[in-house]
Amino acid sequence: MLSAQEDRHETRVKDLAYGTALFHLFQHKKLAAITELTVADEKNMLNNQRADADLLLASLYFEYGLPQQTALIFNQLLEHNLAPETQHNVWFNLARVEYEQENFELAEDYLSRLLQPLPAQQESQRYYIQSSLQLNNGQLDDAITSASAIKAGDSWYAYAQYNLGIAQIAARETEKGLQRLKSLSALKTTDKETLALQDSANLVSGLILMNQNRLDDALAQLRKISIQSPVTNKALLATGTIWSRKNEAKKALAYWQLLIKRHQPDRATLEASLLTAGAYEQLGNRTLAAQAYDLAVKLYQQQSTQLDDMINSIPRLQLYTALPEDRLLSASAIATLKSDPLLFKTLSTLQQTISASPFQQALQQYRELQEIADSIARWKDSIPAFKLMLHERRQSFAGKQPLVLQALDLQQLESFQQQRSALAEEVNRIEQQQDFLALANASESDHLAQLDEVKALLARLPQDRDLSTERQQYRLLYGLLYWDISTDFAPRFWKLKQQLLQLDSALQQAAASTASVQQASARYEQRLYALNQRIQQQETEIERLQSTLNELIPRQQQYINQLAISALQQRKKHIAQLQLSARYSLARLYDELSTQSRKKP
């Protein structure tokens, strides 16, 4: 699903968060992609590609082995009006989820809704799933028809052909099944999984032909198997068995001895040790046969002891960290592992178990848990930085408090408002009393003051003096000044009222600014408190998650160890049976040799 998602949206990114998630995905950082999508969803950052983001998130959950969460997201998507292309994509992915969970009826139902072609990769997988479902229902002919729609160069084609070949053989259409497996093995490919599948097809064909006593045809199929294949040992064992049936004991011995020299203690190699002794018997050399049986007994005893050592060392070897990503153990991985002989021998013994799906799934889950633990550890390491940032903000806020208090000086604002009220009363008085002189300017007020002094001086002078001229001049000057002020009263009074209005506006702005500062200060304090609460909550949640992981990781490690130990114990039981058979054959051979020696004169 993820590869199809990458192909489909490689150049169609509209939301930054979705593009960032795809970037993490291309770098194989699936957890980072999940985190990006989850955070983007909480912050409503997916306005243009919500459906695409949900498709990607569901696909990531499926890769993490969370089919229920995957199906939940897909079903929630179907509740909305989706574009036909997106709707078909959801149905296809739901079909795959249900198929993987072996809910075959639901998978068939979702596939039946697909009425138009899907992108190339999904279309091939669609027909593969459809063919597999039909095989499960016993509809062999329909399964063949569905598989024929897959292009021969597609990896799904190889899997479909292999399944069909096995199904035809099981349905007693052996020749058709063999022919299909032969056609599969003839495909030209460089894909590792397809090459491994071809080797398995050749092995199955060889074993079927051997059981049909078509020995030469069986040899021809077995020779096609690569010497580096995981099934090579089984092929060598089967080849030796075919030559033994052809009464070519020496050729059989050559293959079985080659198998033994590979020093890979799997089931085929151990069985070859017993068959080698039987071949010596077939050649009539009872002495070498007895020696071979004796060597086999010792080998089985040695292997049993080694298995005990491996079982005891499994916790120490920590397979969950020692294993490379390549489940088939590539040449470079093998070279690295050889530095620890016990580890290398254990992994060689367990290679079939390691490459099987249950072990790989358990190992993948462990690696995902480790990835989650690493991410949470990084989150925890970032908490002190957040606390420091919060502390710095608090310090900065505290340093600005004097300015804030100055801005919030309500007494000074109240004093200004009282002065404004007094001024407003004075304006009303001037208007009502028509007190023109109250609007005199500075120069006029100075002249009025001088005239008041003149008037007071005239009043103090003796009354017997003739002051009529002076008084006449006083009245003239006062009248002129009064006239000038009174005739200019209207514009002066209008200007005064405008100044009062401006003062009112300034006071309102001051009051609004004070309230704004008050609110901003309160909001900032609340924000600092909220940040502190969030940091504490995140710290608590991280500790909870770490506690959970500290329980889950050891349990997963123990589960992986138990899978390995169970496989080794099964191998030990098999060795015990081989050892019992070897001891019996050795005792029988000694008895025959003893009887033969007594009969001689």
Whether 83 maps to a domain, the answer reads: yes
Q: Which of 96-100, 147-151, 232-236, 435-439 has the lowest mean pLDDT?
A: 435-439
Q: Which of 68-72, 196-200, 379-383, 594-598 has the lowest mean pLDDT?
A: 594-598
331 band by pLDDT with thresholds 50, 70 and 90: low
Q: What is each CA distance from 288 to 213, 271, 283, in whole angstroms? A: 29, 17, 10
Q: Which of 18, 20, 4, 1 is nearest to 97 (CA)?
A: 1
Count Cβ atoms within 10 A of the Cβ of residue 196 and give its class: 0-12 exposed, 13-18 middle, 19 or more buried. middle
The per-residue pLDDT for 4 is 46
Mean pLDDT for the stretch of residues 228-246: 91
The per-residue pLDDT for 207 is 94
562 band by pLDDT with thresholds 50, 70 and 90: very high
What is the residue range of 108's domain? 1-118
| Mean pLDDT, the chain, whole residue set | 83
**CATH of residue 98:** 1.25.40.10
What CA–CA distance (Å, rounded) separates 190 from 25? 25
Q: Which of 184, 217, 188 is nearest to 200 (CA)?
A: 184
Cβ distance 54 to 79 under 8 Å?
A: no
The yes-or-no verdict on residue 573 having pLDDT over 90 is: yes
The per-residue pLDDT for 599 is 60
Whether 3 maps to a domain, the answer reads: yes
Taking each helix axis as running N to C, give the angle between helix 16-26 and helix 50-63, from 0 to 180 degrees, rounded to the nearest 10.
Answer: 30
Mean pLDDT for the stretch of residues 233-255: 92
Whether 32 maps to a domain, the answer reads: yes
Q: What percent of the chain has pLDDT over 70?
A: 89
Q: What is the pLDDT of residues 283-299, one digit of tens each?
A: 888 888 888 889 889 98
Q: pLDDT: is 21 or 501 the higher one? A: 21
Q: Which of 64-73, 116-125, 497-506 has the lowest mean pLDDT?
A: 497-506
Vertex 405, ends 401 and 407: CA angle to 5°? 115
Domains in the chain: how many in total?
A: 1
Q: What is each CA distance from 599 to 592, 594, 595, in whole angstroms? A: 11, 9, 6
What CA–CA distance (Å, rounded) separates 488 from 299? 130
In one-letter notation, the amino acid at residue 401 is: Q
Pick from 198-202, 351-355, 585-589 the range whose average pLDDT is largest.
198-202
| Greatest C-alpha distance within the chain | 196
Q: Which of 326, 370, 368, 369 is nearest to 347 (CA)?
A: 326
What CA–CA distance (Å, rounded) separates 226 from 263? 17
Residues 6 or more apart from 273 whose CB is under 8 A from it?
256, 260, 292, 295, 296, 299, 300, 578, 582
**Scanning the structure block, which residue is given the tokens 């062999």?**
140
2 band by pLDDT with thresholds 50, 70 and 90: very low
The yes-or-no verdict on residue 339 having pLDDT over 80 is: no
The per-residue pLDDT for 498 is 78
Whether 184 maps to a domain, the answer reads: no
Which two three-digit tokens encode residue 280?
A: 């010596």
What CA–CA distance (Å, rounded) separates 482 from 435? 11
Whether 272 maps to a domain, the answer reads: no
Neighbours of 237 (CB within 10 A): 22
6 band by pLDDT with thresholds 50, 70 and 90: very low
The per-residue pLDDT for 406 is 63
DSSP-derived secondary structure for 206-251: HHHHHHTT-HHHHHHHHTTS-TTSTTHHHHHHHHHHHHHHTT-HHH
Residue 103 Rama label (left phi>0; alpha psi -120 to 50; beta): beta
Handedness of CA 446, 448, 451, 457 (dihedral sign): negative
SS3 for 467?
coil
Whether 67 maps to a domain, the answer reads: yes
Whether 221 maps to a domain, the answer reads: no
What CA–CA distance (Å, rounded) separates 18 from 168? 46
What torsion, rounded to 10 degrees, do the Cα atoms 292, 293, 298, 300 define? Answer: 110
Whether 429 maps to a domain, the answer reads: no
11 band by pLDDT with thresholds 50, 70 and 90: very low
User: What is the distance between the terminal CA atoms of the chain, rounded to a whole angstrom?
Assistant: 81
The per-residue pLDDT for 325 is 65
The per-residue pLDDT for 1 is 44
Mean pLDDT for the stretch of residues 460-472: 75
Mean pLDDT for the stretch of residues 454-471: 75
Residue count of the chain, please give it: 601
What CA–CA distance (Å, rounded) separates 139 from 144? 9
What CA–CA distance (Å, rounded) separates 505 from 497? 12
Q: pLDDT: is 405 or 260 the higher one? A: 260
Q: What is the pLDDT of residues 470-517, one digit of tens each?
A: 778 878 887 877 777 677 767 877 777 777 777 777 777 777 777 777
SS3 for 113?
coil
Vertex 315, ends 560 and 366: CA angle to 5°? 35
The per-residue pLDDT for 597 is 65
The per-residue pLDDT for 329 is 56
The per-residue pLDDT for 7 is 46
The per-residue pLDDT for 335 is 64
Q: Which of 195-199, 247-251, 519-523 has the lowest mean pLDDT?
A: 519-523
Q: What is each CA distance from 68 to 5, 31, 53, 146, in whole angstroms? A: 20, 18, 18, 28
Give Rg (Cα) of the chain: 48
What CA–CA distance (Å, rounded) separates 150 from 121? 10
